[in-house]
Structure formats: C-alpha cells, structure tokens
Amino acid sequence: MSDYNIDRTSHIDIVQNPDVKTILDNCDYMREPTGNEINDIISHFVSVPDREFSLPQKVISIDGSNYEASIRKELPFTRIGFVKIGNLLIKRNDFKKISDGNFVNPFEVSKISKNNSSLSFALPSTNMCYKGENNVRDSFRRTMDEALYNCRFSESDASTSLRTTLFRMAELRLEGSNNNGSILLFKCPSCGTENLELWDIPETQHCPHCGNVIYPSDCLRIWEDISDSGSNQSALTRFTNALMHLLVVHYIRLLKEKNPDSYLNSLSDLCFIINGPLAVFGNPAWLHSSILKYLYDINKELTDSGRPPIIVMGVLKTGAICDYYKMIGSFVAKNSIFSVSDGFRNKYINFDRRPSATTFGAETYYGQDFLLKTETGKLFVFNALLPFRDKHNKTCFKDEKANLLNYSNIGTYAKLIEEFECDLDSASLVPIALAKKYTTITLEPGGKVLDLLAKNALN
Ligand SMILES: [Zn+2]
C-alpha cells in the first residue's frame, strides 16, 4: 500500500478537491455529536459496578503479529511468512510491588516479564515450495499443520499439541451430531470432495477420492486465501488471529486435562488479556463459536463450584468504535461504563446500515464491546466474554448481549483494567504492552517498553 501513502498536506488537498467534496457532501459518515446527541450518548453510561470477585493473581496476556518478507532484496516476489504469538504470564503481586512504591528497580520490571514465551511459525509464501510440494498453497498447508502438531506443551505427548486443541474445537462445532472426535473437513483442497473425516493420529491422511494428502488444520480454510504469486499477508493475518484465540482454550484445556483434580482452583486464579477483540475473522471464523461454548462450560463449572467465572478480556485500540469513543470521551463521566448495543452502534458508529436480521459480530465475536472511562479519566474499549453458550436465538441474543446485568463479573473486569492502566500508552494495559514487546518482529534490540515502563513508574 506504500504507493498510496498520503501525508497530511496531500490529505487536505484531496478533501478540498471538488469531486471529492461532492461525494463527501452526499455521504453519511462518523462525526462529532451535537447538543441532543451528546445527552443521548452520555445517558447510556452507568456507574461502574463494584468489583464482584477478588482479582485473579495470574494474568496471561496474548498478542500476535505477522510479517511477510522477501528472502532477498533482489527477489521481491520470493517471500516467506513469519507469525509470532507472544504469551506472557504476569503475577499481579509482582507487578504491584514495582508500581506502588516510589522507587522502581528496572531489574524488577524485567523480572515480571521473565515468564514469557513466544511461539514463532515460519511459513512459505510467494513463489516458494516446501519439502517437494508442487505449489505454495500445498506448501503452506503442510507447514501449518506440522507447526500446529509440533507445538506441544510436552514434546513427547502429541495430545498436548495445538492440533489436538483444534480437534476439540471441531468436536464442539459438530456437537449433537454423533461426533466421535473427528474433524469433518468441508472439502478436499485438491478435488473438492465434501465432508471428509480426519482423525487425531500421527499418520498422514489422504482424501479417499483423489488420494492427495489432507490435513486436520485444513478445516481452518486458511489455505483458500493462499495464492502462488500474490501477497499472502491476509492468510498470515487470519492464521495469527485464529492462533491467538485458540491459545486461550489450549491453556485451559491443558490445565484441565493434565490436572483433573486441581484445575478449577488454578483457573479461579487466572485470567486472559488479549490484544484485539474477542473474535475470529475470515474463513476460520467458525472457531469463535466453539471457543464460546468451551469457555461457557468452563465458567459453568467454576460458578457451580462456588468460584468466580474466568475473565477473558480483549482490549481494542483501533477500529471505528475506538475512533468514535475518542471523539465522545470527554463528555463521559469518570468511573462509568456502557455495554454497546446494536442500536447505538448503528446510529453513531457503523455505516453499514443494511436492515439485516443479523446482529453485530454474530458470525465472529465471542465477546461484547464495552466502553469504559476509569477513575483516572482514561478511555478503554474492551471485550468481555459473552455470557451465553451460543447465539441460536438471534433476537434474544441481540438484546441480551448489551444488557449489563447479564455480566456477573463486569466490575471485576473494570477493576483489572484500572490496576493495569498503562501510562505510556493511554489506551493500553501493561500486560498487552509487555506481550507486544515479545511479538514485535524487529531486528533492533528490544527493551524500550521496559525502560519506558520503569521510567514512568519512577515519575
Ligand atoms: Zn480429494
């Protein structure tokens, strides 16, 4: 897109262009609210409810990034893809120790981010074939499946792989249809034969019709976006997005399956903070509904046993809703919150106004958008886990998802945000800033965020 980069001056030139002006004059788009609108907008906000539960001690933050690079400067059309998912464990007490006092030891700051790991995946992209495959698409499929299969908590135990977590999600997808643990592949990537069964086994599996290899991870349908000659950036982005959210379930699944006697205790002291909305986009979007079911069931187990539900939070920093909130934020009272309804969104934020029967995020989101203004006046757009197992009843879902009363731990979410407010990046949280540090794909030595964090805490 670099050819279309427009600096500020030329941006003004374009807006002043008579043809552009004519179009603009005839368009509806986001703008500053006026008198009555301001009253309407602030009337939606209510005081943040008191924290319902004690805050979990352990925070896992997840961020992902990806990059497509040519392997040599002289070969711009021979590219490799790189995906990095940072997942960081922060203990709240450790963080408080360094942020409450007057003196901050920078070594302490780096210590709290020591429990980090990042997953890296290199994937063949434009004009590159892997292990003798015939084309980029098949190379990408094979590498991706190998990566998910080999990404294990315990190296010798294949059932601790991300691929097995994907099988669990596929099982939930086919719930109630006599599923026996297999993945039902929509179609064979080679011949198009529909509804192929795949098993969680180490052996290579083949399409019964054409005999070509089929992979369990083909069910994410990311391969459909792969082309031999163009950029595969969007496929990399889809993969990154799907992985970040799969990872939440993966952690919980491993805790549960490996510690059947104690996992509820572990989970009640754990939460997840993810960079971006709680949503899976594009072809792998089906994952979101399985994740929702899985997390709902876990929360039911937790609450049935008298424990608080788990916090799974998405923090949004970009997008139309963030742009809009920045514009109206100064009118909103401190310590107030709003669960964004479709009505509000359609009136002020989104300019896709098809009167469709569906509701915002119906096919992608497992979280709900909230606008929060903290006690210190900072503005946050975040997602809380939806309090439903599925969205089958669309009309009911549309109304109930925006009802604050359905969120039994929303005050706890808000409290957690307040605790982790980040001074260096006003709309971000410390765990996200730290996770970002481990996913930023850069050749320069890192450490800047930590330095800044340390400095800021000193001031
Ligand atoms: Zn086939």
> CB within 8 A of 42, min separation 6: which ones?
331, 332, 333
In the block, which residue shows the tokens 């925070």? 59
Which residue range forms the structural domain that includes residue 159? 71-87+119-246
Nearest to 323 by CA among 421, 430, 433, 427: 427
State residue 1's pLDDT score.
35
Q: How far is the CA of 79 from the centre of ligand 1 (A)?
A: 28
| 80 domain residue, yes or no | yes
| Lowest mean per-residue pLDDT among 88-92, 145-149, 302-306 | 88-92
| Same-domain status, 326 and 201 | no
Q: How far is the CA of 158 from the centre of ligand 1 (A)?
A: 26
Mind listing the pLDDT tens digit for each residue in 257-288? 988 888 999 899 999 999 999 999 999 999 99
Type of residue at 189: P
Q: How far is the CA of 214 from the centre of ligand 1 (A)?
A: 8
Sign (positive/negative) of CA torsion 327, 331, 335, 341? negative
Look at 428 and 186; give whichever has higher pLDDT. Answer: 186
| Same-domain status, 173 and 45 | no
The pTM for the full model equals 0.89
| Same-domain status, 429 and 337 | yes
| Same-domain status, 57 and 127 | no
| 6 domain residue, yes or no | no
Look at 428 and 68; give whichever has higher pLDDT. Answer: 68
Q: Is the CB of residue 94 less than 8 Å from the CB of residue 112?
A: yes
| Same-domain status, 391 and 459 | yes
Mean pLDDT of 241-264: 92
- Is it the case that residue 340 has pLDDT exceeding 90? yes
**CA–CA dist 168, 303 (Å, integer):** 22
| Same-domain status, 154 and 252 | no
Mind listing the pLDDT tens digit for each residue in 8-42? 556 667 878 888 888 888 888 888 888 889 999 99
Give the side-chain half-sphere CA count within 13 A for 152: 12
Q: Which of 246, 271, 305 is the last residue of a domain?
A: 246
| Same-domain status, 62 and 209 | no
State residue 98's pLDDT score.
66
Q: Which of 218, 246, 274 is the last residue of a domain?
A: 246
| 47 domain residue, yes or no | yes
Q: What is the average pLDDT score of the chain?
A: 85
CA distances from 192 to 187, 212, 217 (A): 5, 11, 16
Q: How many domains does the chain have?
A: 2
| 367 domain residue, yes or no | yes
**CA–CA dist 168, 183 (Å, integer):** 9
| Same-domain status, 187 and 255 | no
State residue 53's pLDDT score.
96
Q: How far is the CA of 240 from the centre of ligand 1 (A)?
A: 27
**Angle CA 238–242–246, to nearest 5:** 170
Q: How far is the CA of 243 from the centre of ligand 1 (A)?
A: 26
Mind listing the pLDDT tens digit for each residue in 380-397? 999 999 999 998 888 788
Number of helical (H) and strand (E) elements in the chain, helices listed first: 16, 13
| Same-domain status, 132 and 182 | yes
| Same-domain status, 428 and 282 | yes
| Same-domain status, 139 and 176 | yes
| Same-domain status, 325 and 230 | no
| 38 domain residue, yes or no | yes
Q: How far is the CA of 196 from the centre of ligand 1 (A)?
A: 9
| 354 domain residue, yes or no | yes
Q: Which of 224, 246, 268 is the last residue of a domain?
A: 246
Q: Is the CB of residue 274 less than 8 Å from the CB of residue 313?
A: yes
Look at 369 and 33; give whichever has higher pLDDT. Answer: 369
Mind listing the pLDDT tens digit for each residue in 197-210? 999 999 999 999 99
- Is it the case that residue 7 has pLDDT exceeding 70? no
| 59 domain residue, yes or no | yes
Q: How far is the CA of 195 from the centre of ligand 1 (A)?
A: 11
Query: b/e string for 64-95 if b means 16 or more Cβ within 10 A?
Result: bbbebeeeeeeeeeebbbbbbbbbbbbebebb
Residues with CB under 5 A from ligand 1 (ion): 188, 190-191, 193, 207, 209-210
| 3 domain residue, yes or no | no
CA distances from 356 to 124, 369, 403 (A): 39, 20, 21
- Is it the case that residue 454 has pLDDT exceeding 50? no
Using CB atoms within 10 A of its CB, is residue 110 exposed (0-12), middle (13-18) or buried (19+)? middle
Mind listing the pLDDT tens digit for each residue in 71-86? 887 888 888 888 888 8
Mean pLDDT of 80-100: 79
Q: How far is the CA of 176 from the centre of ligand 1 (A)?
A: 27
